């Protein structure tokens, strides 16, 4: 059965000291308060990952990065490879976040290369997809997201696809305080699972975790996480406060 995952995307926030405090608060609260069938993941800035790895080593909380290079190694100044991430104990990597698509020009074909690089190195990609507001207003969200998934993921074998986590994040809901309604989220998640079924069959589709992202917080998490095809959340703003992040995970 598919995993329930609550992943925090810290984005470009927190100094090392602040990040360590946040992580240790999450570790302590999770130990006391959470059921062990919910996988927590902290996706921190690259420079913090090495320090956080040792803090999380004895916990059930996994470590994630927010990006990786599409290249294996070499003269790519400023880049970080999937091999490097794996070598310091990172397990997950967010790929294709809308901010990377919008501000850093990441395309579906570039993301296909990054997904390959992550999988080749044993990282679990959290692949983000989602439509902008103008597409939603024309009811084009299904076709838009289907194309993102097809172009970045459908070259994978069924076995490799089995290691991919999808995060449906409507761009109009990210960091805006606006959340998709439970019906809107369920509709999109069901459409994504149907698309996966058509490509890889029911077993793979039923085992794929599809997370919702977009202003999820303690006050709306229960309703969203109760949807049949919502298997967790990718949390931005609310992951920067340990109490909110753990409360979201407790909503299951
Ligand atoms: C995100 O950036 O992945 C996200 C979901 O952000 P927020 O929760 O702040 O909307």
The string of pLDDT tens digits covering residues 157-194 is 999 999 999 999 999 999 888 889 999 999 999 999 99
132: confidence class by pLDDT, cuts 50, 70, 90: very high
| pTM of the shown model | 0.97
The best mutation among 234, 244, 248 to test binding of ligand 1, ranked by most ligand atoms within 8 Å of the C-beta, falls on 234
Q: Does the domain formed by 4-249 have CATH 3.40.50.2300?
A: no
Q: Residue 235 C-alpha to ligand 1 middle, in angstroms?
A: 5
| Helices 46-56 and 16-33, axial angle in degrees (round to 10) | 40
Q: What is the pLDDT of residues 59-107, one digit of tens each?
A: 999 999 999 999 999 999 999 999 999 999 999 999 999 999 999 999 9
Strand stretches in 183-231, DSSP E: 210-213
At which residue do the structure tokens 């992943």 appear?
A: 7
Ligand 1 pocket at CB < 6 A: 9, 169, 174-175, 213-216, 234-238
Q: What is the pLDDT of residues 190-233, one digit of tens each?
A: 999 999 999 999 999 999 999 999 999 999 999 999 999 999 99
Q: Mean pLDDT lowest for which of 32-41, 90-99, 121-130?
A: 32-41
| Range 2-28 burial, b when 16+ CB lie within 10 A, else e | eebbbbbbbbeebeeeebbebbeebbe
- What is the percentage of the chain residues whose pLDDT exceeds 90? 96
- What is the percentage of the chain residues whose pLDDT exceeds 70? 100
Ligand 1 atom showing the smallest separation from residue 128 Cα: 3
Q: Whose CA is nearest to atom 2 of ligand 1?
A: 236
């Amino acid at each position: 059965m598919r995993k329930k995952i609550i992943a925090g995307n810290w984005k470009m926030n927190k100094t090392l000291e602040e990040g360590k405090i946040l992580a240790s608060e999450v570790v302590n609260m999770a130990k006391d308060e959470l059921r062990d069938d919910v996988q927590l993941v902290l996706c921190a800035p690259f420079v913090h990952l090495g320090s956080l790895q040792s803090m999380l080593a004895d916990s059930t909380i996994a470590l994630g990065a927010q990006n990786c290079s599409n290249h294996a190694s070499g003269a790519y100044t400023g880049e970080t490879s999937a091999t490097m991430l794996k070598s310091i104990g990172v397990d997950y990597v967010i790929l294709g976040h809308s901010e990377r698509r919008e501000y850093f020009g990441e395309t579906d074909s570039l993301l296909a290369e990054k997904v390959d690089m992550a999988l080749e190195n044993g990282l679990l990609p959290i692949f983000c997809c989602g439509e902008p507001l103008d597409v939603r207003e024309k009811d084009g969200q299904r076709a838009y997201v289907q194309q993102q998934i097809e172009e970045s993921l459908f070259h994978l074998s069924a076995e490799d696809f089995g290691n991919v986590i999808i995060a449906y994040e409507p761009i109009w809901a990210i960091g805006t305080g606006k959340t998709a309604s439970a019906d809107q989220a369920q509709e999109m998640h069901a459409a994504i699972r149907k698309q996966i079924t058509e490509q890889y069959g029911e077993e793979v589709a039923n085992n794929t975790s599809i997370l919702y992202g977009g202003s999820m917080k303690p006050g709306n998490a229960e309703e969203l996480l109760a949807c049949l095809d919502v298997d967790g959340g990718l949390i931005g703003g609310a992951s920067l406060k340990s109490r909110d992040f753990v409360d979201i995970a407790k909503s299951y």
